[in-house]
Structure 1
Amino acid sequence: MAFIDNVPSMRAAFLPLLVIITVIMSGRLRSVHGRFQNLTGTQREARARLYSDIESSPVLQNKMFPLSPDGPVEVNIGMNLYKVMAVQEVAQVMTASLYMEVAWRDEGLAWDPEDYANISRAYLPAHSVWTPAIISLNSATETFSIFSSVEKLDLSHEGVSRMTDGVVLGTHCLVDLKYYPFDKQTCTVMLGLGGYDVDILPIARKVDLIAGVNEQVTIPGEWKVVSHHLRVVPAAGMSLVTYTVELDRSSMYYTLCVLVPMAATSQLSLLVFWIPPAAGERISFLMSIYVSTTLYLGQASDTLPRKDFGLLNAPRMILFVTFNLIQCILVLIATIISMYLHETELKRAADTLNKDPDKPRPKSPRDSDGEMTHSAPQEDVPVVEFRTKDRNILDHKSKFFATEMTSGCPKSWPPNEREATRDNFVEVDTRCRRILRKLLRFSRISRKNRNSDNSCRMSANTLDKVLFIVFLFCSSLFFCSIFNV
């Protein structure tokens, strides 16, 4: 109850404070209102009057096309290249970022700046003013209309309207990949410029980018812009505007990462001729080289377009990879032939060496009186053969003595002095003849085998070296002449 009784006294205490705050705020509001009132009188009022007069003009009310007393309406068009974003070789499409500017003059939209507080520029909605029709004739995307996203149009006091826009265009480009990756391409952006129901005269002019924009936007990439120029071909209905861009591909990446490894891999296949045939690794080595070469062929097929071309106009990259594959196949065939020659000659030499050099000597009687002859046994101890005529010699000998004589009896126990001496001479003569015959036959066979083996090895080795030199010369000549660098 005491708090309620003190409310009137509290109101009386806060009343002066509220009055002071109200006075201060009213003064500030008055000062702000005064500043806006002055601005409205100088700039805003003039700009408001300018926009009101422009919007109420017959040109905007009826969306009339511009008129020129000298003839067709001159439409200046300018283009400049920001950056080549991509060149798709397979799809034959160039994607580029462009800066475009179109300007024309309409006397019905001109004014005197002195009547509007020296205001010389105005900005109007693009859909409220007549604008020329600009379309992309070789567009590779769904967008054909240019400047379709422009909202404002820059208008000067002289009646010059200007539209500017940055566009990303994907256009068809006939890419010639004959000398890929050392190629130069020329792509053209084709635009159609029309004035609907008014004749226009398109004029190409140079447009400079904003200072510093080119350095910030143009990033060094695969393509380097050599030159670019704009050309206009006037026509009655729709004029043709061509913007030609000449490009040069940076080939260092392809040289270091594709061509050099592929050429080195191909030349490694020639080292197979230096691998000994006995090593048995020739075929496996060549197959690994062949598989690695086919991988490069897949990479080249993904990069190049799939179209018909003659042998003379074929991309050099395709010829390069195809030559490597053919060389690998020919080296494989030559290696198989060389290994076959090696195996054939070595087998022939082995068969000759494995033959028995001691062939049985044909029997020929030494005399006609039926004397005892000896064969050429393989053992050192000779076996004595007796003819029917000599059996009377053993009649008075014992069976034991005949057995001893047959097995080679000692000289101290001769059954008969005459027969023993004769047997001794026959045995010595037989052994000498056998040894001499073995030496002559061994020397003759060894010399024959040695000559045939050396000739075999010499011919096979020579074949390998000749094939290595021939393949190396042909591949080096092909690599130096294919790209005409």
Structure 2
Amino acid sequence: MQCSFLTIFIFITTVTVGVAEFSEQYQGSSSRLTRHLLEKHNKCSPPDGRVDISHNIELVHIIGINELNQNMQVLVYIVQQWTDASLSWKVEEFRGIKHTWLPEHSIWIPDIIVFNTLEHKMLLEAVRSPIKVSYTGEVTYAYPAIYTVLCQIGIATFPFDDQVCKIRFASWAYDEDKILLNASHKPLLKNYSPNEEWALQDVDMARKEYEHEETVVSEIIYYIKVARKPFYYLISLVVPSYIICVLSIAGLFARFSTKHERQERFTLGVTAILSMAVLSLVVTEKVPHSSENVPLLIVYMHFIIVMVTIATILTSTVMRVHAKGFRTHFLSPPNWIRKVLLIARKHANFFQQHGKVYMDIHTTAEQWGEVSRRMDYLLASVFIIIISTPTLYLFYMCFQMDHATAERVLLENAKRRDQLYY
């Protein structure tokens, strides 16, 4: 019995030691490496000497541009790389492990921020975000983020405007002698998702110096150029305004009656002006309230309001001309008016009916009525041509700006370029 118990004890001991050796040999290298790195690394101390940080971003999506508040919100992937000698190890001592991952809060991370940000959302705050570390001490810190940055909006050519927004990355506390930022390439666009309102035109970057609290820091500026897609604004604002204006012009110079009771024309003109003034308020609520520039769309809407106003005023002239035929002293229209309006002089006409001869005389009232009718046709045609010209030009500009094709070409070229960095 004693021999049996001894045999069982030796067997259990052997198996336990073997499992421990196996676990240490095949599963414990990563744990040993993590303990080794955290013991010799001080997360409160930056690496010795100057730290060269490779800083690159990938533009994923332009969430939106708020013209009124003058800011842009973007989703980006950020990749920062630097070398920290205290996080290096010998590969042969840890069974050939060349890479490991450490918690974000356990190692030193440079304080790189966006200087022109209004709001910053870290999308991995609720997730254990590991940082990749190489055996040479190279640290790769990658994370997605949503930034809302200041962006000066130019409104002079709205809705055919282009905007250039900047994202400015720099260290808050370390000067350029301690931290030097470098970007190896332009922002990547491999996973870019187009925006419905804005077409991406170009992305670029530049490295500069920025003086902050008497400290010169290294700064990287990423430029994002976008162009507005204007077709929506033309359909929703220009077309209704044009239709209201044309109907108003047609109504102002329509032949309501052969009498001089035409005061309803003024009511129609005022109603049309108020309708277009309401539409112009939609544009003013969309763009910044600037006194330096007036948006092109506002200029257009004010132009057609002025045209309707002038047309409404001119209806009084047509009414006065029409009323001349009903005065007590009957005077025919002057010859120069007939020539300008291409009205032929009519004489008395004789015709026979029921065996009797009658004389049809073109009265003075009829003559002035013809003049006023020709004036209605002429003024209506002139005003419709005047308001149609800028409207057609706006649509011409819209169709000339093929933003979708330009964006597609940019993304195709960028993806071919980005293959060099993946």
TM above 0.5, yes or no, is: yes
Structure (1 or 2) with the larger CA radius of gyration: 1
Alignment of 1:103-118 (within 5 A): 103-118=81-96
Letter in 1 for 2:233: Y
Letter in 2 for 1:233: K
Alignment of 1:458-469 (within 5 A): 458-469=370-381
Q: Which residue of 1 aligns with 2:334?
A: none
Structure 1 length normalisation: TM-score? 0.64
Alignment of 1:282-301 (within 5 A): 282-301=265-284
Q: Which residue of 2 aligns with 1:356?
A: none
Q: Which residue of 2 aligns with 1:64?
A: 45
Answering whether residue 315 of structure 2 is matched by residue 322 of structure 1, we say no
Distance between the aligned counterparts of 1:257 and 1:234, measured in 2? 45
Distance between the aligned counterparts of 2:138 and 2:225, measured in 1? 33
1:163 to 141, 149, 155: 141
Give 1:307 deviation, angstroms: 1.5
1:251-292 residue CA offsets vs partner (Å, 9 max, x unmatched): 222222222222222222221254114285534443443333
Alignment of 1:224-243 (within 5 A): 224-234=199-209, 237-243=216-222
Whether the 8 Å contact between 2:186 and 2:204 is mirrored in structure 1 is no
- Return 112-121 or 286-295, whichever deviates more: 286-295
Q: Which residue of 1 aligns with 2:288?
A: 305
Give 1:65 deviation, angstroms: 1.5
Q: Which residue of 2 aligns with 1:53?
A: 36
1:101 to 76, 79, 95: 79
Change in Cα spacing, 1:39 to 1:347, as seen in structure 2 (3 Å) is farther
Q: Which residue of 2 aligns with 1:261?
A: 240
Answering whether residue 174 of structure 2 is matched by residue 196 of structure 1, we say yes
SS at match of 1:258: helix
Change in Cα spacing, 1:167 to 1:160, as seen in structure 2 (3 Å) is same
Coordinate RMSD, CA, aligned: 3.5
Change in Cα spacing, 1:34 to 1:261, as seen in structure 2 (3 Å) is farther
Change in Cα spacing, 1:295 to 1:469, as seen in structure 2 (3 Å) is same
SS at match of 2:101: strand
Normalized per residue, which structure has more strand?
2
Give 1:187 deviation, angstroms: 0.8
Give 1:239 deviation, angstroms: 1.4
Distance between the aligned counterparts of 1:32 and 1:265, measured in 2? 92
Distance between the aligned counterparts of 1:36 and 1:249, measured in 2? 66
Give 1:42 deviation, angstroms: 2.1
Whether the 8 Å contact between 2:187 and 2:222 is mirrored in structure 1 is no
Q: Relative contact order (C-alpha < 8 Å, sep 6+): which is higher?
A: 2
Whether the 8 Å contact between 1:147 and 1:165 is mirrored in structure 2 is yes
Normalized per residue, which structure has more helix?
1
1:165-197 residue CA offsets vs partner (Å, 9 max, x unmatched): 111111111111222212221111122225637
Alignment of 1:345-360 (within 5 A): 345-348=324-327
Q: Which residue of 2 aligns with 1:470?
A: 382
Whether the 8 Å contact between 2:111 and 2:173 is mirrored in structure 1 is yes
Answering whether residue 157 of structure 2 is matched by residue 179 of structure 1, we say yes
Whether the 8 Å contact between 1:134 and 1:147 is mirrored in structure 2 is no
Change in Cα spacing, 1:158 to 1:345, as seen in structure 2 (3 Å) is same
Change in Cα spacing, 1:207 to 1:233, as seen in structure 2 (3 Å) is closer
Whether the 8 Å contact between 1:138 and 1:190 is mirrored in structure 2 is yes
Q: Which residue of 2 aligns with 1:395?
A: none
2:105 to 122, 127, 137: 127
Distance between the aligned counterparts of 2:155 and 2:194, measured in 1? 24
Change in Cα spacing, 1:39 to 1:268, as seen in structure 2 (3 Å) is farther
SS at match of 1:278: coil
SS at match of 2:291: coil
Whether the 8 Å contact between 1:346 and 1:453 is mirrored in structure 2 is yes
SS at match of 2:117: coil
Whether the 8 Å contact between 2:56 and 2:79 is mirrored in structure 1 is yes
1:245 to 220, 224, 228: 224
1:117-138 residue CA offsets vs partner (Å, 9 max, x unmatched): 1112222233332221112211
1:21-62 residue CA offsets vs partner (Å, 9 max, x unmatched): xxxxxxxx99997896465222332222212211221x327x
Distance between the aligned counterparts of 1:275 and 1:31, measured in 2? 110
SS at match of 1:158: coil
Give 1:316 deviation, angstroms: 0.4
SS at match of 2:278: helix
Letter in 2 for 1:65: P
Give 1:157 deviation, angstroms: 0.7
Change in Cα spacing, 1:480 to 1:31, as seen in structure 2 (3 Å) is farther
Whether the 8 Å contact between 1:182 and 1:483 is mirrored in structure 2 is no
Change in Cα spacing, 1:323 to 1:180, as seen in structure 2 (3 Å) is same
Structure 2 length normalisation: TM-score? 0.73
